[in-house]
Amino acid sequence: PELGLLPCGTGIDFARGLGLPKEVDATLKRIAGAKGRAVDAGRICYIDDHGALASRHFVNIASLGLSGATDRAVNADKRKGKVAAKTLFLWRTVVEFVRYRFQDVTISVDDGAPVEARMALVAVANGKFFGGGMMIAPDAELTDGQFDIVILRAASKLKLIWDIRLLYGGRHRNHPAITILRGRKVVVEPLGDVEKNGALVDIDGESPGRIPATFEILPGALMLRY
């Protein structure tokens, strides 16, 4: 079956990445005239809030660290739906970043050697946008059979908060705290103390658990009209 997407969520980041209009009627007209295209999806296995192994599928971006904490704060915020999503996500991102304690993890991509990182965020991206308009993965493509993996390493919090503005235009590629990798399978595990470094996950705007987590690409898994 072919899937049509209406931009009715809080951040509408997947719709933004597809270039869909914000108006529902305009989106319906576009979908009606479009042809179905095969796009990739992702699967993540993680530890849920009860300590059990769980899995979910995602179509846009799954991540961990600051984004997981921000998701929980946004979804609990009583202003959700009453203020602009970009404003709410930016505010909660800054507040949670001030509170955030950098976490130590190992990141393995495909068959490569594990990379150790003290990080603020790791985004495993199929789409380009998350967080109400942040272009975290400017080079991500929905049809290339690979993830773009964006690692934001620990650095001066004050400097990083100021540099959040770079994310909205995808101008962070060469930032000294950013590493971008590509691959089909990503494994992220806490380094050392599991409780201390068990970073919260974000799965298309929801945060149902924490790492260790395994992310796998599912090439051409969805037929999407857009």
* CA separation, residue 43 to residues 9, 70, 220 (Å): 21, 21, 13
With a pLDDT cut of 70, the percent of the chain lying above it is 100
Confidence at residue 82, expressed as pLDDT on a 0 to 100 scale: 87
Q: What is the pLDDT of residues 67-112, one digit of tens each?
A: 999 999 999 999 988 888 889 999 999 999 999 999 999 999 998 9
Confidence at residue 97, expressed as pLDDT on a 0 to 100 scale: 96
SS3 per-residue string spanning 126-183? CCCCECCCECCCCCCCCCCCCEEEEEEECCCHHHHHHHHHHHHHCCCCCCCCEEEEEE
Structure tokens at 188: 């992220």
Contact criterion met (CB below 8 Å) for 108 and 70? no
Sign of CA dihedral 71, 77, 82, 88: negative
Parallel, antiparallel or unpaired: strands 178-183 and 53-58: unpaired
Parallel, antiparallel or unpaired: strands 209-225 and 2-4: parallel
With a pLDDT cut of 90, the percent of the chain lying above it is 93
The CATH class of the 40-219 domain is mainly beta
d(CA 226, CA 220): 15
Query: Is 81 strand, coil or helix?
Result: coil
> Looking up tokens 């599991």, which residue turns up?
194
Contact criterion met (CB below 8 Å) for 152 and 121? yes
d(CA 135, CA 123): 11
Q: What is the pLDDT of residues 131-170, one digit of tens each?
A: 999 999 999 999 999 999 999 999 999 999 999 999 999 9
**Terminal Cα-to-Cα distance of the chain (whole angstroms):** 14
Q: What is the pLDDT of residues 185-206, one digit of tens each?
A: 999 999 999 999 999 999 999 9
Query: What DSSP state is assigned to residue 200?
Result: B
